[in-house]
């Protein structure tokens, strides 16, 4: 099994002819992802890598069975692209664009909730179920099929951690990047709930960072609902207060959101704590 995606997932790519969209589409297709169509207004009737292109999603769904979409549409058009996918009844959507206005993010998340469309992102690297399917930009060589579920705010951190895992022959069931915030369509808790119910996932890796209170809320969820081993890494221990560190959500204001407070809460709620990415495979091998 896997969470969100698997070998049967049929993917639509929005913004398929753009520089990033076309580049990543080929990599995803070569990996084995079933990409059935792409959408770029004005490019309908063309093909790319043998994939048919349409002007609108409503045209796609009359010709193809689609159950997931990944959007490489630029930030200023991302809301309209999300509305189009949601209105078409697609129930899982990955939004890669960063810099989307917060009001637009709120609108797409609320509309998706109302129409039962799960949104991953925005500003997400996507997700990968090694050996099954990839919807995103994860470097293929850093992942292998296994039984550890990984959830991360940072794409780069997840790549580094999974590379360390693979070097120690520890593989992943699914690796999910929820995005850098400050607003998320899918939270850490949402992902952990699915990992808890996934028979293939035997342990969980939580990769967090400074800013906000998501990790503290996730820690309470771990205490109450998760009975699988959880290994956590929180980055940003030396970050100064009031300075944004990379992601929009990675900023400490007041006493909340520090690495120390997150680490302590996670430890008290039963998570094993890693200090570096290289610690994670060692801790996992002790519990698997």
| Residues with a known catalytic role | 247
Nearest CA to 207 out of 169, 239, 159 is that of 159
Please check whether residue 162 is in contact with residue 175, taking contact to mean a CB–CB distance below 8 angstroms. yes
Which has the closest alpha carbon to 202: 148, 153, 151?
A: 148
CA distance 288 to 16: 40
16 vs 40: CA distance, rounded Å: 6
Interatomic CA distance for residues 67 and 231, integer angstroms: 32
Question: Before 36, cis peptide (omega within 30)?
Answer: no
Residue 76 CB contacts under 8 Å (≥ 6 apart), including other chains: none
**Ramachandran angles phi, psi of 65, nearest 5°:** -90, 115
Rounded CA-CA distance 164/150 in Å is: 13
Both tokens of residue 204? 């969980």
3-class SS of residue 267: helix
């Amino acid at each position: 099994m896997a969470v969100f995606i698997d070998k049967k997932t049929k993917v639509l790519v929005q913004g398929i002819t753009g520089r990033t969209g076309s580049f990543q589409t080929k990599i995803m297709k070569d990996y084995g992802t079933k990409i059935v169509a792409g959408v770029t207004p004005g490019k309908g009737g063309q093909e790319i890598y043998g994939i048919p292109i349409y002007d609108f999603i409503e045209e796609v769904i009359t010709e193809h069975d689609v159950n997931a979409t990944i959007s490489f549409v630029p930030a200023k058009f991302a809301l309209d692209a999300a509305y189009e996918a949601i209105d078409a009844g697609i129930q899982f959507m990955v939004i890669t664009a960063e810099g989307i206005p917060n009001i637009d993010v709120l609108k797409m998340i609320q509309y998706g909730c109302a129409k039962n469309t799960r949104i991953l992102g925005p500003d997400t690297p996507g997700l990968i179920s090694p050996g099954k399917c990839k919807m995103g930009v994860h470097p293929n060589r850093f992942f292998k099929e296994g039984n550890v579920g990984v959830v991360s705010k940072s794409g780069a951190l997840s790549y580094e951690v999974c590379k360390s895992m693979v070097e120690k022959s520890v593989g992943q069931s699914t690796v999910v990047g929820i995005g850098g915030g400050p607003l998320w369509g899918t939270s850490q808790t949402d992902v952990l709930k699915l990992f808890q119910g996934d028979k293939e996932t035997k342990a969980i890796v939580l990769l967090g960072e400074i800013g906000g209170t998501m990790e503290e809320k996730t820690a309470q969820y771990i205490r109450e609902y998760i009975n699988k081993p959880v290994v956590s890494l929180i980055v940003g221990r030396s970050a100064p207060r009031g300075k944004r560190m990379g992601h929009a959500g990675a900023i400490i204001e007041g006493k909340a959101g520090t690495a120390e407070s997150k680490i302590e809460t996670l430890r008290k709620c039963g998570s094993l704590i890693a200090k570096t990415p290289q610690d994670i495979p060692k801790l996992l091998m002790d519990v698997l």
